[in-house]
């Protein structure tokens, strides 16, 4: 079914139908209403390919999906994608998926995609220092939003982003522990240098009145366990641990001695945390995805606004369970 069929059925010209859809204000109220009724009755949908050829806009938003690492900390994509897709649909966009192993291959995919499907915008996840993808897109003036702050102070890094305030999360965790009577609260995090990890450490550190003890290891349950065992062994006063991830926290849980209760708080509120009763910092992934779409939609509606660089920093919440 084409726009011509609708025009015939409604007894108007093709343009009137097109106008009803694209410039409603230019059509008489009565006519518009009638046309919309016919469209509804016939179940007509404008052919996106034809529309795209004319307008150059695909109403497609592309997002990359990475293979998750240990599968524990990495399982946020599900919820994020669901919300992204839902919000996008409400705004009249659809989500196009692609995979990429690293920045370089992701950029190659951009070229592919832009040549073939011409997505209107990209959503970047897993931003990091010296992100090649962001600068590539920036250079070409392509609309995108990053889920994750640009962890760099380059003037380049001025683009819209949405992120969850990791420091606020560990601060909330630390405050909760202080409120429940803990006085010596340790931290298990990642080696310095990763924006996300440093941010989470900062929230813990700034909440304590005097410097606390900490360990830094690569992410993982086993690493978390040995780090916690080491820390608890060296520091007998420590009664609570804040961790940079649920993986680390799960390891810390296993490092506890039977006769020495230690409160543990993780980060990400993964299914695994729920499964074992681990208190954890919960990220509002649905809101984050919705914010990404909002930012993009706004930028795409008004391309004249120049390089948009709105930022959204969302606050995580603390999901309290048995572990703390």
Partner DNA sequence: CTGAAAGCGCTAACAC
Partner DNA sequence: GTGTTAGCGCTTTCAG
Q: In the chain, how many H helices and how many E strands?
A: 13, 12
Site for its own copies in 63-82 (CB under 8 A): 65-68, 70-72, 74-75, 77-79, 81-82
What's the CA gap between 38 and 52, in Å, rounded?
Answer: 23
Distance of closest approach, residue 307 Cβ to its own copies, in angstroms: 24
Starting at the edge strand found earlier in the chain, the sheet holding 214-216 runs 214-216, 185-189, 240-243, 263-267, 279-282, 317-319
Does 279 help bind its own copies (rule: CB under 8 A)?
no
Instruction: Figure out which of the listed residues 12, 172, 221, 318 binds its own copies, where binding follows CB under 8 A.
Output: 221
The yes or no reply on residue 54 touching DNA (CB under 7 A) is yes
- Choose which of 11, 193, 271, 303 interacts with its own copies (CB under 8 A): 271
Out of 8, 9, 36, 46, the only residue in the binding site for DNA (CB under 7 A) is 46
> Smallest distance, Å, CB 22 to DNA?
5
Q: Which of residues 11-40 bind DNA (CB under 7 A)?
A: 12-19, 21-23, 26-29, 31
Q: Which does 105 bind (CB under 5 to 8 A by kind): DNA, its own copies, none?
A: none
The one segment of 45-53, 162-170, 185-193, 313-321 that binds its own copies by CB under 8 A: 45-53
Between the CA of residue 39 and those of 16, 29, 31, 42, 255, what are the distances in Å? 12, 15, 12, 5, 64
Applying CB under 7 A, the span of 49-57, 122-130, 185-193, 262-270 interacting with DNA comes to 49-57
User: Is 102 or 112 the residue whose CB approaches its own copies more closely?
Assistant: 112
Distance from C-alpha of 93 to C-alpha of 300, rounded to nearest angstrom: 11
- Residue 234 binding: pick among its own copies, DNA, none (C-beta 5-8 Å cut-off by kind): none
Locate all alpha helices (DSSP H) within 59-165, ordered by sequence: 77-90, 103-116, 132-139
Strand ranges (DSSP E) for the chain?
A: 60-65, 94-99, 121-125, 144-147, 161-164, 185-189, 214-216, 240-243, 263-267, 279-282, 311-314, 317-319
Q: Which of 307, 319, 291, 294 is nearest to 148 (CA)?
A: 291
- The torsion angles phi and psi of 289, rounded to 5 degrees, stand at -65, -45
- Are 215 and 232 in contact by the 8 Å Cβ rule? The answer is no
Using the rule CB under 8 A, is 257 a contact of its own copies? Answer: no
CB of 21 to DNA, least distance (A): 5
Contact region with its own copies (CB under 8 A), list: 3-11, 28-36, 128-136, 266-274: 266-274
Would strands 279-282 and 317-319 be described as parallel, antiparallel, or unpaired?
antiparallel
The residue ranges that bind its own copies (CB under 8 A) are 1, 43-50, 52-53, 58, 65-68, 70-72, 74-75, 77-79, 81-82, 85-86, 89, 94-99, 111-118, 221, 246-247, 250, 270-272, 274-276
């Amino acid at each position: 079914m084409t726009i011509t069929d609708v025009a015939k059925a409604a007894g108007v010209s093709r343009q009137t139908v097109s106008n009803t859809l694209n410039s409603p204000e230019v059509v008489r109220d009565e006519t518009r209403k009638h046309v919309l009724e016919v469209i509804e009755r016939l179940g007509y949908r404008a052919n996106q390919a034809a529309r795209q050829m004319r307008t150059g806009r695909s109403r497609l938003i592309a997002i990359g999906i990475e293979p998750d690492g240990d599968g524990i900390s990495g399982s946020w994509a599900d919820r994020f994608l669901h919300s992204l897709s839902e919000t996008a649909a409400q705004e009249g966009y659809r989500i196009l998926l692609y995979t990429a192993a690293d920045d370089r291959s992701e950029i190659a995919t951009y070229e592919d995609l832009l040549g073939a499907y011409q997505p209107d915008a990209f959503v970047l996840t897993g931003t990091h220092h010296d992100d090649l993808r962001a600068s590539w897109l920036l250079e070409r003036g392509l609309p995108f939003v990053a889920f994750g702050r640009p962890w760099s102070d380059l003037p380049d890094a001025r683009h819209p982003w949405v992120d969850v305030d990791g420091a606020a999360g560990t601060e909330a965790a630390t405050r909760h522990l202080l409120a429940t009577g803990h006085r010596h609260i340790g931290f298990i995090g990642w080696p310095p240098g990763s924006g996300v990890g440093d941010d989470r450490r900062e929230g813990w550190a700034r909440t304590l009145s005097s410097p606390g003890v900490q360990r830094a290891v690569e992410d993982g349950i086993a690493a978390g366990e040995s780090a916690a065992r080491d820390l608890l062994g060296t520091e007998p006063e420590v009664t609570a641990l804040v961790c940079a991830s649920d993986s680390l926290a799960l390891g810390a849980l296993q490092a506890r001695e039977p006769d020495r209760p230690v409160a543990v708080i993780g980060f990400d509120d993964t299914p695994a945390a729920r499964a074992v009763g681990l208190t954890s910092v919960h990220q509002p992934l649905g809101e984050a995805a919705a914010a990404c779409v909002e930012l993009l939609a706004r930028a795409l509606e008004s391309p004249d606004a120049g390089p948009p660089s709105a930022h959204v920093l969302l606050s995580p919440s603390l999901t309290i369970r048995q572990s703390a």
